[in-house]
């Protein structure tokens, strides 16, 4: 590549950057957020399905989900906090009976729908499913963070 070509390409990139920087905050689309969904009902896509994971050096299962539709918010004032495309993740710690129990309730509708023979089969085949979830968001004052609790999951 000649020095003239390189300079022409660099100039084009700089011109593009100048144009971008002359814009406003409204000119660039927001990235999807990684959030704890507000209390409400949502249609979500399980692009990755249920996954084995280590959280704080403990066995866990998580479930990342992408918001496809906001069906109903528990508090309409929270509408600006969530948008289509946002990603939220539920997680269950598998080192205690409570975590195992909540995981069982979460995967039960998928396990049944898929006529799965094991949790592994249901987890593997949950990838790509559209589901309806109802969640409640709570705030833990001690940990200074919000948590999302699954109340109901049905196949969309």
pLDDT band for 126, please (50, 70, 90 cuts): very high
Per CATH, the number for 34-155 is: 2.40.50
Count of CB atoms situated within 10 Å of the CB of 26: 7
Q: What is the pTM of this model?
A: 0.76
70-88 pLDDT, tens digit per residue, is 999 998 887 778 899 999 9
Residue 12, pLDDT score: 78
Count of CB atoms situated within 10 Å of the CB of 46: 19
Q: Cα 114 to chain center, whole Å?
A: 22
């Amino acid at each position: 590549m000649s020095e003239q070509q390189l300079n022409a390409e660099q100039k084009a990139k700089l011109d593009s950057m100048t144009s971008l920087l002359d814009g406003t905050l409204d000119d660039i689309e927001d990235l999807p957020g990684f959030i704890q969904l507000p209390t409400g009902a949502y249609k979500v896509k399980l692009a990755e399905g249920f996954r084995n994971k280590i959280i704080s050096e403990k066995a866990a299962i998580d479930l990342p989900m992408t918001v496809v539709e906001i069906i109903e918010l528990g508090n309409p004032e929270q509408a600006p906090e969530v948008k289509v495309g946002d990603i939220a993740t539920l997680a269950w710690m598998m080192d205690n009976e409570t975590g195992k129990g909540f995981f069982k309730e979460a995967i039960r509708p998928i396990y049944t729908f898929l006529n799965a023979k094991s949790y592994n089969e249901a987890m593997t085949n949950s990838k790509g499913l559209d589901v309806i979830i109802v969640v409640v968001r709570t705030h833990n004052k001690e940990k200074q963070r919000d948590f999302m609790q699954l109340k109901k999951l049905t196949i969309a």
